[in-house]
Amino acid sequence: MSEVIPDSWRPALEPVLAKPEARKLGGWLRAEEEAGKAIFPPRGERLAALEMTPLDSVRVVILGQDPYHGPGQAHGLSFSVREGVKLPPSLRNIYQEIESDLGVKPPANGDLTRWATQGVLLLNNTLTVESGQAGSHAGRGWDAITDACVAAVVEQGLPTVFILWGSHAQKKAGRVRGLGASNNHLIIKSPHPSPLSAHRGFFGSKPFSQANAFLESHGRGHIAW
């Protein structure tokens, strides 16, 4: 692993990163890059979600599956693309639900940094992907690292909202011991915002108003979605 672990996440991640599986992941990623394969996001951005959202500031967790696999799209935050990049279909649907749920017109760009800096952890399950090959880095060792991130959020005990879109995110959350066992947390589940499933219950699920109502009722403010 060539990425620098942010200080607030280090105690949670160091035990996992010390294991052979994590070292194997790092070696495999280096070999893939040395073989000339394009890996997204680039080095230095793979832990952007942790850098932008320190552990003790996490108020909402949104779990994605793996980064966007098109050039110039992924920059380390689930569902997010930088300003100037065309909105992916799932993000367009997320914005549509925000407008329906809150009556707020979302911005034209897809950079969700503004969420991350407010305490929304935009974490993918797998933090890298090969160009043009969705899911290509699944099962390579990222799961243990991102599971440790979710577990750290749960275990610190602060009232937190977990927004779980689709079966993949719901299964991941279910693997983390204790999630949902505490009244400190709100778990919001719905179908994924992908065009393939958004009309099966994502639209109209109102996750953003639910999240803010919970946060405000627990003295943690609200997110300016």
Q: Which residues are catalytic?
A: 66
Residues 6 or more apart in contact with residue 162 via CB below 8 angstroms: 60, 61, 63, 173, 179, 185, 186, 187, 188
What token pair was written down for 44?
């230095």
User: Of 135, 4, 115, which is closest to residue 53 (Cα–Cα)?
Assistant: 115
Residue 207 burial class via C-beta count within 10 angstroms: exposed 0-12, middle 13-18, buried 19 and up: buried
How far apart CA 207 and CA 103 sit, in angstroms, is: 13
